[in-house]
Each structure stands twice: as C-alpha cells, then as structure tokens.
Amino acid sequence: MDASKAESSGLLSKAQLSGHQRFPPTPPDTDRESTDSSLEPSDTEAGASSPNGDKSSAPKLPLYPLPPRSKPDNTVLTEDLKTPDNHVTRDPRLIRLTGTHPFNVEAPLSNLYDEGFLTTKDLHYVRNHGAVPRVEDSEIMDWEFTIEGMVNNPIRMTLADLMRDYEHQTYPITLVCAGNRRKEQNIVRKTKGFSWGAAGLSTSLWTGIAIGDLLKAAMPQHGARYVCFEGADKLPNGYYGTSIKLSWALDAERGVMLAHKMNGETLPPDHGKPLRVVIPGQIGGRSVKWLKRIIVTKEPSSNWYHIYDNRVLPTMIGPEISADLPETWKDERYAIYDLNTNSATCYPDHNEILDLRGSQSAYNVRGYAYAGGGKRITRVEVTLDKGKTWILADISYPEDQYRLASEGEILYGGRIDMSWRESCFCWCFWDLDIPIAQLQAADDIMVRAMDEAMMVQPRDMYWSVLGMMNNPWFRVVIHKESHKLRFEHPTQPALMPGGWMERVKKAGGNLTNGYWGEQLAGEAEVVTTAEPAKETCMINEKIKRTISLEEFKAHDGEDEPWFAVNGEVYDGTGFLEGHPGGPISITGAAGQDASEEFLAIHSENAKGMLVNYHIGTLDKASQALLANDEEVQPEGVPPRAVFLQHKMWTRAILSAKRSVSPDTKIFTFDLDHADQEVGLPVGQHLTMRLRDPVTREAILRAYTPISSTSAKGKLDVLIKIYRDAPTQKGGRMTQALDSIPLGHFVDFKGPHGKFEYLGRGLCRVSGRERRVRRFIMVCGGSGITPIYAVLRAVLMDREDPTCCVVLNGNRNEEDILCRAELDAMMTDNEHKYRLNYVLSRPGPAWTGRRGRVDADLIANEVGPCASTDGGDLVLVCGPKPLEESVLSIFTGMGWNKDGMLFF
C-alpha cells in the first residue's frame, strides 16, 4: 500500500506520513547493541532515504517504529531468590499483583504509555500461573513440541526444525490480559480474580511462523474443529492449556503465529522462552507460553484452565455459588476469545497536579484504546459533563506505518507481512486538547471508544465472578484545589491505595447507583444507616520500639516465641499456656510472618487481644524480607519419614473423594511417599491451606484427620461441606475443597492443639500430664473426628483401662458420621464403652433416643459429678449451640471447667 493510498483510506494522518508522531514517542534507534545480526534493518531492508535523496549518504531509517532499548542492568530481584523463579531477571519498576510468586505484574500506567507504541520486555505485563520453566540457552534449539490429535500426519519437531523449514514473519501485536481494569470490579464487589489496574496490556514485535502453515502440513481430519495448546508450566491442576477454533488458526487474516522472538530477541523466560503461541485480537490467556503440544480436536479443550479461567459468567453468579456449577463453567457461550472494545486515560496521571497560575491555555488529555478480533477503533469520544455531550478525540494508528514496508522487507529475520492484511492487531492512541477553563468547570473527564462494528464501551460495569473484560467508560475525577487541579483515576493496581472508587466506597457511596457513587447537584442526599466497618486495633500505640530481622529471628524457639502480624512484632510467651490451640500453635509461628494464618482464622476478639503482646515494629527492610520468606517445603529435598512440620507448609496431592453422606465426604491425600507417616499425635489437629488459583488468596481451617496415627502414605480427612443457603453463606474452605479436582495439591502444617492422648489413661493438656479414668465424649456432626481419634486409641489398646461414654447428637440418621466404625468398636469393648445416639429430627423408623443432648441424657448416662481427683475428663466438639449447651449443663451439675476440654 503506497502512502497516498493509505492517506486517502484514512489509515494514516499526514503527521504520521511525515514521520511526526505526537503521541507516545517511538523514535527509531539506530545505535542499538545486539548479538543478533538480524535485529537491525539492513541496507536491503526498505527504509526512508536521506533528506537529499542520496540513499548512500546516510543510514536508512524505517518508516515504522522500532522498539525502545531494553534495560541492560536487570538482575534477579531479591524477592525472587527464594522462589522457583530464581533464574529470571526482571525490572523492579513492575507492580506485583499477587505477592512475590507467581509473577503477575503490570507497569505503572504512565511508564507504559511513555515507552510508546512498542513495549520493551522490561515493562511488558506478565501473567504467570506458576513457576517459569527453566530453559538454558544451549537447550533452545532442541526444544521439542508436537502436533497431534485429529491429524493425518502427526508432527514432532524441534525449534531448530521449525526455524529451518518454515517462513518467518514479523509484525506488531498487542496482548491484553482479560483481567485488565479488574481492580474496578473488585472494589464494587470482590471477584475471584486479583486486581489488575489499567496497564494489563503491552505491544511488541513478534517474530515466528504462521500456525496455519504447520496445521496444513499436519493435515487435520474431517470433523476437527478446535486446536488445543498446552505449555510446559506444571500447575496444581495440570499443565496450562486452552484452545481456539481450528478455522481461526487456519485463517491467515487472523495472524496466529508460533513466536520465537520478541522485539528481535529470543523470548524472555517470562514470555515463553523458547516458543509460544501469539494470537492477535484475543485475550492474552489464549497465547500459551512454553509451548509443548498442539492437539487438533473435535471439542474445545478439557484443560482445567480453559474451563475455569477466562470466562464471563452471568452477573448473578457470585463467588460463593460458582463452585457448585460445573456445567455452567463448561458452557462455551461464556468463554472469552476476542477482546472487547476498551480505552483508558493515561494523562492526566493519577494524582497529577495542573498549576492554574501558568500560561498554559489547554491541556492535552491522552490515552490508549483497543478492540478485539482484528477490528479497528474508529472513534474515541470524551465527555466533561457525564455523557450529556461528547467531543471527538484525534486518533493515531502507529500500526499502520508497518503497512508501508516494501514487499519482501525483512525485520528481525521475519518478513513484515502487513500490506495486504486488513485486520488491526494493536492498540491505538487518542488525544484531545481541552481548554483549561473547561477543565476548571468540569467535575470529571470520561472517555469511551467505538470499533468498526459500532460496538461502543458501555456506560456501566458488567460485574462477573472472574472480573474479566471490564470496559465501562474510564472516568478521571477533577479536584479543585488552591490554584491547581488534581486528577484522580478510578483505582490503583494490586493493593495500592488510591482512586475515586475506593474513596467513594469508604465514604458509604453506592458505586452502582448510576452516578458513579457520587451525589449530583440537585440530587437528594442519600441517608445511610450502615456504620462503616471498624478495624480492630492490634497494636499498643505507646510502643515505639523498632526491631531488626536479626533480633526477631533470635526468638524463633520455644522459650520466648516472637511472631509478626502485618509488620508488627508480638511476644507470645505470656499466652503459651492459655492459647486454645496449645503452645505449639505459637511456637510453630515463632520467628515467622504469621499474618496470613492469624488473620484468616482468628476472630475480632482474638485480634484485639494482640495489643497486650505487642512489643515493637519490624523495620521496613526486615518487613520486606520476612514477607517474601514463604515457608513451604522446597522441591528436591530428600524424603522425610514424617509428613507434618509445625513450622513449614508441606504439600499433599488430593487423590480421591468419597461421599459418606449427602453433605459429607472423605478427602484422601497422597503423601510424599508410601512409607511416610502423618506425624499427628492422638487428639491433635492440623491446619489445611488452600489457595484460590486465580487470586492466590489463602483459605485456612483446622481439621482432625480420621486416618490412624500409624497410617502411612495416605491422609484421610472427613469434611462436612457447608453449602450456601438462602439464609446464610456456606463454608468457604469446605466449598473450595469440594470444587478442586483430583490432582490438586493442598498445604498442611501441624500438629496443633493443647490436648494429646499418650495412652492408657495418660494425657497431656497445655503441656501438663494428667491421669484420666473416664472420658465423657460429647459431639455432633463432623465434630466426631477428634472424638473418634481418641476413642479409637483407647479401644484399640486392650491394655488400656480407660472408659468412654459417647453422646453423639445429630438431626437425622444421615448425619451420623463414622457410624459403622463407632458401632464396630462395641465388639469386645462393652465393659468400657457406652455409645448413645440422639436425633432431633428422626425419621419414623428410628427406634433410638429422640431429642437433644440435654440435662436428662447427661444425668442418666454420665451421672453426677462424683470425681474430685480429676479422673473424669469431658471432651466436646460440635456446633457452637451444642458446645454452649453442654457447658451450661455440666457446670450446672457442679463440674469444674478444668475438667472440660472443647476441641
């Protein structure tokens, strides 16, 4: 396409044709260092001639942008040293969205925009689900991948084969994460996704081979409709994989490629080294990195990540109920492929100040826009009065400059195959000069874009459970301050505070009221009776002591256990005896950042008690180092004889689920090896941790397994699943466990608890030994598990003289858990074991006791408090109403609280 034709078609502006670009500058850099001779356009590669027309007197500059120079001094960052990514160099400017690991980042929005049309590898956003596969430079050419499935000619080839046998292409492609701008949705209502800002997109020059050429060589069979991709990144739910339609992959207009270079360089590790799929116009989640398999199929991918990620479910489906809708997740109507139309304002930046005392008469408002499926953005409009009137902005399309490349022109070893293609694969830039006086009179600046299919950004948000494809009008609030204007963006990425949405919500505003949560002039004042949530104070304001990491780590033992919560240091020595979970619950956290565990499982009352144990604050450097000190059993260490560790999380793989009642299942986990012992003393419990695969948010709960203490290689945990009901929310952990597939790992830590049964009547309570002649065991529902562990230990030892009375209260027969085991233990144990079932809602066939565990039952089966020497010990575990009732009954009968233990 020649310049005159391009200009008349409206693809290029005169400013672009003259080489001038007002928007993000991408000046050609002809003084680049490179080890790859194909990185620079040669004299035979078309470019602009010298101003005097002498093609030999000056180096040729291309008409199209070249990438800015990458930073030469990036290193492996401190926070990555203790993660599996300790081989990857990264730019410290990137904003981490999911903590230290895995690596999910975006650049500061202004930095991304300033870098221009093309993004360096330094600031390109990254979406990793797990560890980055390590591929040495010497292994790149030997990297193997396959094309298999419904093909007549299966192919297995190396990267060297691919590069040798197929034609290479180079062209710019914008990749966008489907979660771009998700933070806005998370503020309205928490989704299952982590908080992307507005910089979850980047553009690079990609070099590779058209996937259609490979697929044609493999010869898809009749009936094949999809192409599945699978990477080398092993994750909790298998290898990452997804699929697209076969017809899309074969369509040259769509530009799907297998890329091996990014901006002329070998793919960086974070971006798929050495081979990845790049799919223009579709969400980044379809562009699989570290590619190993291409599978041609009749149906869409069955990969876990294809089904449970990158979907926009109907807005009425919330996080709580989504786990119970497997068929909804599998519905391809909700799968995301093409990007939707979106735009954002980059300048004015968040908290940017415009001084009104200067001579400036107008401000150049500017930002980006993009569309999906190869469609072109055709207009960008700005409003200063909340949509009553609109102003057209100017649009720049730097992508079109590549269409002017000469036929056969080579860049970075690939042909610039752009002149014939009508599709748009890249973001564009918009700008508008707004008079200062108009900005002074406005409350906000809002922008919306439209594509060539006349699809325009919506005014209001479409909230969905994964928070994807968020694209309502982008609103920047204008604050009038003394002699200046201050601009405020909607949000800031990750956990960074700031943004008008967060401010409005904290003030009690309704972000879904149709007016962006703010009260308009003339609108009646909204009266709210809800009090803002109060945060529990966990520090002693009088304490000003600063504690170093060295001093903190010196207290990682049992004598003076110090632990940290939110950067504050607490001395747990004074609570070793009184802690409900026993002293090991505190000593297990000694010398560690216990924030995640403490905040996840403790009540507001417990948080308030921390004030009494607060002794100081870690210095900032120590806080950063401690927060990155993830205590997880590293891979590659020799197998241990005992599975549980009380100071370190250890992973086990979910291998089976077995229903034992309508709402209860036994979850079986495989340990490290068949001879490994669990390591849980009788009467104690362990903590299970499950992370949401999208948000990485931790869910922790304590459980007592039903596996015997001597069991090896396997761990069985009986769990009652509390599902959501119209009147109350269900259990977060139980529903999450029920939704994860077999093969998923769960983290375990332990043992915990202040009670341990040592055998033959000897037990230890809060570190002190005591003798017991009789256990009175009261339980209900899944509270049977700790009771069952102690009961089994007593009855399996024929030399143990301890007697046991069990009062097991439930609603109906289906709720009686471990019933077969409890009944079987009656054999040969009638002399020391009495078992009583009581049902509050029995069926007509029930012949046993009816009602509840009440005073009459306890008086009849237990008798009065006759023991004064501590020979009886009451063990209680069940729902809170049961525990409260039992406590009242026993104390009313004269029992001392010291003789009662609540699990």
Catalytic residue flag (residue 309): yes
Query: What is the distance between the alpha carbons of residues 245 and 228, in angstroms, rounded to a whole number?
Result: 9
* Chain position carrying tokens 């609280």: 897
Indicate the annotated binding residues for Mo-molybdopterin. Answer: 177
* Chain position carrying tokens 């050495």: 274
Of the residues 128, 177, 228, 872, only one is catalytic, namely: 177
Query: What is the distance between the alpha carbons of residues 82 and 744, in angstroms, rounded to a whole number?
Result: 23
Query: What is the distance between the alpha carbons of residues 64 and 67, in angstroms, rounded to a whole number?
Result: 10
Counted residue by residue, the chain has a size of 903
Beginning with the edge strand found earlier in the chain, give each strand of the sheet holding 104-106 in spatial order: 95-96, 104-106, 126-127
- Note whether 585 and 613 are within 8 A (CB): no
String of b and e for 142-164 (b: at least 16 CB within 10 Å)?
ebebbbbbbbeeebebebeebbe
Q: In the 8-state DSSP scheme, what is residue 211?
A: H
* Chain position carrying tokens 């009732």: 885
Q: Which amino acid is at 617?
A: T
Residue 548 structure tokens: 């170093």
Catalytic residue flag (residue 426): no
In Å, what is the CA distance from 629 to each residue of 619, 621, 632, 705, 785? 15, 13, 9, 28, 33
Of the residues 80, 85, 270, 309, only one is catalytic, namely: 309
Catalytic residue flag (residue 763): no
Of the residues 310, 471, 628, 829, only one is catalytic, namely: 310
Query: What is the distance between the alpha carbons of residues 143 and 195, in angstroms, rounded to a whole number?
Result: 34
Query: What is the distance between the alpha carbons of residues 786 and 899, in angstroms, rounded to a whole number?
Result: 17
Q: Which amino acid is at 104?
A: N
DSSP assignment of 829-870: TTTTEEEEEEESS--TT--SEES-S-HHHHHHHT-S----SS
Residue 354 structure tokens: 């415009």
Query: What is the distance between the alpha carbons of residues 304 and 301, in angstroms, rounded to a whole number?
Result: 9
- Note whether 398 and 428 are within 8 A (CB): yes
- Note whether 88 and 270 are within 8 A (CB): yes
Query: What is the distance between the alpha carbons of residues 246 and 220, in angstroms, rounded to a whole number?
Result: 9
Please report which residue ranges of 753-854 form alpha helices under DSSP H.
784-795, 819-824
Would you name the residues annotated as active-site residues?
177, 309-310
